[in-house]
Structure 1
Amino acid sequence: MKKIIGAVLLLLVLSVAGYFYFKQPPQPQYKTQKVERGSIVSTVSATGTLNAVVTVQVGTQVSGTIAKLYVDFNSQVKKGQPIAQIDPALFLSAVQQSRGNALNAEASLAKARVTLADAKRTYNRNKALLVEGIIAQSDLDAAQTAYDAALTGVRGAEAVLLQTRGALRQAETNLNYATIKSPVDGIVVSRNVDVGQTVAASFQTPTLFTIAQDLTKMQIDTSIDESDISRLKVGQKAEFTVDAYPEQTFEGTVVQIRNAPVVTQNVVTYVAVIGVDNRQLLLKPGMTANVAVQTMRKDDLLKVPTAALRFKPKAEKGKEKDKGKGGKGAGMTAAAPKGSVRMQGEGRSAAANGTKQTVYLLKGEGKAVPVAIITGISDGASVEVVSGAVKEGDDVIIEQVSQDKKKSGMGGSPMGPRF
């Protein structure tokens, strides 16, 4: 009988112990990552368009019909090389007419000079005769008037000759403009006319060709947000990719930061020009480039993943949630600390430059221990640890892994699912 009672008591004790053991909440499990040393490169991301450094739009200064085309798309041209010809018939006629007018003006000038010489001789002769008393004073006055008129006639003929020569030069210039020449050495990237097309230069010079001076040197015009423009400096290195070569990374340098603001839908941006070496001619004008400008680089520093700054144990999250209910600012997102910087990646990182943060280290028997640190620069994936009680090799928590007590296949009917 005593054995039976002892067995019952033992069974009761084991049942109670088992109940409380299995009733305890499971120990939380965490996903960790090692604190390590390495390099961090802080960047500013932007998009832009590739362009030739010098692009010249070639037009025409005279109107007419395109008679000949000497170049086409992708043609290499030299400075002064003819690239198109406007029908010169009308311009040749204008030159001949102006040349005839100029010859006529030269003849009129010669005739006026002869008249002046005759009037001068008559005046001098009458002046001598007046002294001898042979002619009257009125005859000398008439000779004086004829001489002055002849002198004025010469000056007028000279003015007419000058005008006709100017008209001749203008006609010859228009004839020269009928042959359109390349103003620079380069490559034709655009042709907007065909033979037989009429171009009119009356009000606005039409663009016939677009010539890129040198495609071995290109530039990217990027739009930088006003919150990031202060971090950019001339001479900083940049890396970019284009959709045509998604697996290849190209390099460039910041060569200019323009002060003129660009406002689009109340968003202020500034243009930063990235110089690019395109000796292999892989890049083409108009390509969209995804640029990352290196604003700062630090080597051999202690760094933690940015996910560790966002982590908080679920218990603390619950307390913060309860504290926010009914209080001031409930339901609102906490404001970012003053002086925080924008990180790359999705959204804004929790890391802030020179800001006090809290990370949790996995210590002892799987306990999450909070540690205060001061953060530095970040590249989106990792953040610099300026100071704090962390060292290389520590396990920093980046995520809490939830455990489901219900195992697969348990909790259902032993006979299988009910139909």
Structure 2
Amino acid sequence: MRTKQAKALSADHPLRRRGASVALSLVIILSGSVVLAQVLQQPVPARAPAAVVVAPVASVKLDTVTVQRGDIQDTIGAAGKLQLFQYADAYAQVAGQVKDVTVAVGDMVKANSLLVEISPTLQPAKVENNRAQMARMRAELADQRAQLDFAELQFKRQTQLKAQNATREDAFESSRMALSSARARVDAIDAQIHQLEATLKIEEENRQQTQVLAPIAGTVVSLNARVGQMVSTSQPAAPLMRIADLSKLTVAARVAENDVTRLRVGMQATFTTPGYPGRHWSGKLRQVLPVPAEGSAEHGKQTFYIVLFEVNNTNHDLMSGMSTQVQFVVAQAQNTLLLPVKALGAPDAAGAYSVNLVDGKQRFSSRKLKIGMRNAREVQVLSGLAEGDQVLVGPVPAPPAALPSKSIAAAP
């Protein structure tokens, strides 16, 4: 009977729709119960503040430098050349032909040692002729002196006779004139002899000057004399050779006009040369030439001035003509606080400098500095920093981007 009634119910019967709604409600209730049971089984977090923001902290690598103590120099750089400091040129003192050259370039010589021997163009026969003439004139002088003695004797006798009125007046005057003539002839011959002696002395000196001697002790650095070469003294000529003392050299540096005004005589100067990498030489500024260097200040070019100083070269390691890179020390300080220039940054509108210090927790603090001298690498710190301070290079980095935060309610 019930079966027949159930079959008789249609799909849209009210009783059928009500049963489906009840079944759906039971399913939802059961699902919620399962989820609630899972939540209740989870551990309860510890008590926390009302709201905590959790965000990862990124580790940022900072570029820093350390303030250290050291020495610093304010220098002016310039390029230069090594030159001879003391040298002397040897010239021919007599015209003639080079007979012998006893040295070569690079030889070391002592003062007054023989360098070149010259055969003079003056004929030896002329010298001998002058000497023979000198002998004849001396003989003639002896004869004239004998005649002078006789004339003096005659005049003395005539004077005595005249006092006794025993001679004639013309005889007395004749003896007086003879005495005067004899004296004049002796004086004339004596003058000729002196003149000839001077000529012979010059000729003898010229013969001695055929040997060219070293004017100073040193090294032969250039040689122009050749055997067979004709030399003359009547016109300017090239020296036979040049001798230089290489134990000391001169550095000639070209300094720009905007730097030369800061230089003073006595300043320390150091230099290097490509021939000896890593080695340094030093000296004291001797002179600043008051005229521009040759080739500068023309057609709008920058003006340079030559600055000179000497360097000891007892080992002869340095050679004339070597190029040098010079540093003139304008000022210097020792055991002072130093900061690398790259950490200094640019000054503010008032010309003051500020830097950022970094502590161990990577926190930043700004410091104003008072600086002193500086060079291309470092700057002297007079105040504002201490030894060991870590200074940030560049601007302070921006903080990392904030991640999404989670807010967890605190337990009651």
> Fold conserved (TM > 0.5)?
yes
Query: Residue in 2 aligned with 1:140?
Result: 172
| Residue range with higher mean Cα deviation, 385-394 or 278-287 | 385-394
Structure-2 separation of matches of 1:234 and 1:384:
25
Distance in 1, matches of 2:275 and 2:395, equals 38
Q: Per the alignment, do residues 400 and 283 of structure 1 end up closer, same or farther by CA in structure 2, a change over 3 Å counting? A: farther
Letter in 1 for 2:369: I
- What per-residue deviation string (whole Å, max 9, x for no partner) do you get for residues 115-174 of structure 1? 211221221222233334343212211211121121122112111111111111100111
Aligned counterparts of 1:240 and 1:92: Cα–Cα separation in 2: 57
For residue 377 of structure 1, what is the amino acid of its counterpart? M
The 3 A distance-change label for structure 1 pair 110 and 222 is: farther
For the residue of structure 1 that corresponds to 2:156, the secondary structure is helix
Between the aligned partners of 1:275 and 1:177, the Cα distance in structure 2 is 36
Q: Does 1:381 align with 2:377?
A: yes
Matched residue, 1:302:
337
Map of 2:320 onto structure 1: 285
CA RMSD of aligned residues (A): 3.3
Secondary structure of 2:122's counterpart equals helix
- Cα offset for 1:36? 2.9
The one-letter amino acid of 1:221's match is A
After superposing the two structures, state which structure 1 stretch, 109-118 or 221-230, moved more: 221-230
Shift of 1:54: 1.6
Which of 391, 397, 405 aligns to 2:393? It is 397
Establish whether residue 41 from structure 1 lines up as the match of residue 36 from structure 2: no
2:299 counterpart of 1:242: no
* Distance in structure 1 (CA, Å) of the matches to 2:215 and 2:236: 19
Deviation larger for 300-309 or 166-175? 300-309
Structure 2 CA distance for partners of 1:311 and 1:400, relative to 1, 3 Å = farther
Say whether the 8 Å CA contact 2:355–2:369 is kept in structure 1. Answer: no
Q: The residue matched to 2:240 in structure 1 has which SS?
A: strand
Answer whether contact 1:87 1:178 (CA < 8 A) is retained.
Answer: yes
Q: 1:295 to 1:160 in 2, by over 3 A?
A: same
The corresponding residue for 2:354 is: 359
Q: Deviations over 1:241-275 (max 9, x none)?
A: 22222x13132221623564445544362533132
Q: Distance in 2 between matches of 1:229 and 1:116?
A: 80
Select between 361-370 and 44-53 the one with higher mean Cα deviation: 361-370
8 A Cα contact 1:94 1:171, kept in partner: no
Q: Residues 276-355 of structure 1 correspond to what in structure 2 (within 5 A)?
A: 276=312, 278-311=313-346
Contact 2:67 2:385 in 1 (8 A): no
Matched, 1:107 2:143: no
The answer to whether the Cα contact below 8 Å between 1:226 and 1:270 also exists between their aligned partners in 2 is no
Q: When the two structures are superposed, what TM-score results if normalisation uses the length of structure 2?
A: 0.70
1:11 equivalent in structure 2: none
CA distance in 2, matches of 1:208, 1:128: 71
Q: CA deviation at 1:179?
A: 1.0
Contact 1:63–1:201 (8 Å) recurs in 2: yes
Q: Which one of 227, 240, 248 corresponds to residue 195 of structure 1? A: 227
Structure 1 partner of 2:201: 169
Runs (5+) with no aligned partner, structure 2:
1-59, 298-302, 399-412
* CA displacement 1:46-69 (0-9 Å, x = unmatched): 233223432111111222211111
1:311, 1:399 within 8 Å by CA — same for their partners in 2?
A: no
SS of the residue 1:249 aligns to: coil
Which amino acid in structure 2 is aligned with residue 241 of structure 1?
A: T
Selected match of 2:242 from 203, 210, 232: 210
CA distance in 2 between counterparts of 1:82 and 1:38 reads 56
Task: Give 1:208 shift.
Answer: 0.7
Change (3 A) 1:291 1:48: same
Q: Deviations over 1:347-381 (max 9, x none)?
A: xxxxxxxx943233266998987643222112321
* 72 and 372 in structure 1: CA distance in 2 versus 1, 3 angstrom threshold: same
Unpaired segments ≥5 residues, structure 1: 1-27, 321-354, 403-419
Other-structure match for 1:178: 210
User: CA, structure 1 residues 399+149, in 2 after alignment: closer, same or farther (shift >3 Å)?
Assistant: farther
Contact 1:356 1:374 in 2 (8 A): no
Q: Deviations over 1:372-395 (max 9, x none)?
A: 322211232111112236764232
Larger Rg: 2
Counterparts of 1:271 and 1:91 in 2: how far apart (Å)? 52
Match of 1:77 in 2: 109
* Distance apart, 1:175 and its partner CA: 0.6
The answer to whether 1:269 aligns with 2:305 is yes
Report how far residue 182 of structure 1 moved.
Answer: 0.9
Alpha-carbon distance, 1:82 to partner: 1.2
Corresponding residue of 1:155 = 187
Q: Is 2:68–2:388's contact at 8 Å kept on the other side of the alignment?
A: yes
Q: CA 1:233–1:114 in structure 2 vs 1: closer, same or farther (change >3 Å)?
A: same
**Pair 103,309 (structure 1): closer, same or farther in 2 beyond 3 Å:** farther
Residue identity (%): 23
> Is the Cα contact below 8 Å between 1:358 and 1:370 reproduced in 2?
no
Aligned residues: 332
Could you tell me how far 1:280 is from its partner in structure 2?
A: 2.5
1:372 alignment counterpart: 368
Of residues 366-375 and 253-262 in structure 1, the stretch that sits farther from structure 2 once superposed is: 366-375
Q: Distance in 2 between matches of 1:400 and 1:110?
A: 114
1:236: how far off?
Answer: 4.7
Distance in 2, Cα, partners of 1:263 & 1:89:
44
